[in-house]
């Protein structure tokens, strides 16, 4: 067989693989060998933490980020119309806002929307629970934090993230609207990022609902006085948000925005 192969090469019917020939000639390791090789300790050792150092470098992080996006895109690929809920993870079940989030999520799920949250406790749990109440699709996009945040028990599809920006991309990509209940820095971050992307036309406009006038009125007043009146934003930018205390009104507004694109009229 070897003679026939050499004859074929000699007569020009086959072209030798020069790169592999070079590797063999100079005694270099093959790519498979390089991929599979690992450092070995002098004595059998079941755990060697320093061998994981390469996973802390930037090139590895880039691959991890790519993997995180691929995993999320795959997990959420079949999601249709969805509404994302934001709000405090510290909201207790006895809080009226918990019940409002649960009720609104149930109404939206009945209307055909999947419900997306950060997958944690508080308002997130309430919204996922509301979707589960009516057999709707309940999605949780959880985030790795120094203090572990577990997935609430009402999530049907769970996606875990290491990076906030990957997670926020999923909220933006798979949502037809945002609902923001009273919350902390994270809730405000999501609000202003959404407004910035819409205002700068980096994304198509979508509805942003602020639920709970007692909580949001002060911020909206400050925005009108310090941003709008001072010319730091356009007056029409204030119309990018819908303030309400009614779950029925919020559901009707979000549904109308999806079906009729009401802001275009």
Residue 8 has pLDDT above 80, yes or no: no
Average pLDDT, stretch 79-98? 97
Q: Which residue has the higher pLDDT, 110 or 12?
A: 110
Average pLDDT, stretch 130-143? 96
pLDDT score recorded for residue 165: 93
pTM value is: 0.83
pLDDT score recorded for residue 99: 98
Alpha-carbon span 242 to 195, nearest angstrom: 12
CATH no. of 68-253: 3.40.50.450
In tens, the pLDDT along 206-215 reads 999 999 999 9
């Amino acid at each position: 067989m070897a003679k026939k192969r050499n004859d074929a090469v000699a007569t020009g019917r086959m072209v030798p693989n020069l790169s592999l020939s070079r590797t063999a000639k100079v005694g270099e390791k093959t790519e498979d060998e390089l991929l599979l090789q690992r450092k070995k300790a002098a004595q059998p050792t079941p755990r060697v933490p320093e061998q994981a150092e390469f996973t802390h470098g930037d090139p590895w992080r880039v691959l991890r980020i790519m993997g995180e996006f691929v995993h999320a895109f795959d997990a959420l690929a079949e999601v249709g119309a969805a509404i994302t809920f934001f709000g405090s993870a510290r909201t207790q079940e006895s809080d009226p806002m918990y019940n409002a989030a649960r009720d609104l999520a149930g109404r939206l799920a009945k209307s055909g929307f999947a419900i997306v949250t950060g997958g944690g406790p508080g308002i997130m749990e309430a919204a996922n629970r509301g979707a589960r109440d009516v057999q709707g699709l309940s999605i949780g996009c959880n985030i790795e934090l120094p203090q572990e945040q577990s997935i609430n028990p009402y999530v049907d599809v769970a996606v875990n993230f290491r990076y906030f920006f990957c997670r926020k991309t999923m909220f933006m990509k798979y949502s037809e609207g945002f609902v923001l209940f009273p919350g902390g820095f994270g809730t405000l971050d999501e609000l202003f990022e959404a407004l910035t992307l819409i205002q700068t036309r980096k994304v198509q406009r979508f509805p942003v609902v602020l639920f709970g006038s007692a909580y949001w009125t002060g911020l909206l007043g400050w925005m009108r006085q310090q941003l709008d009146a001072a010319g730091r934003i356009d007056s029409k930018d204030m119309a990018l948000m819908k303030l309400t205390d009614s779950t029925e009104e919020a559901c009707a507004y979000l549904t109308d925005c999806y079906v009729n694109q009401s802001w275009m009229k």
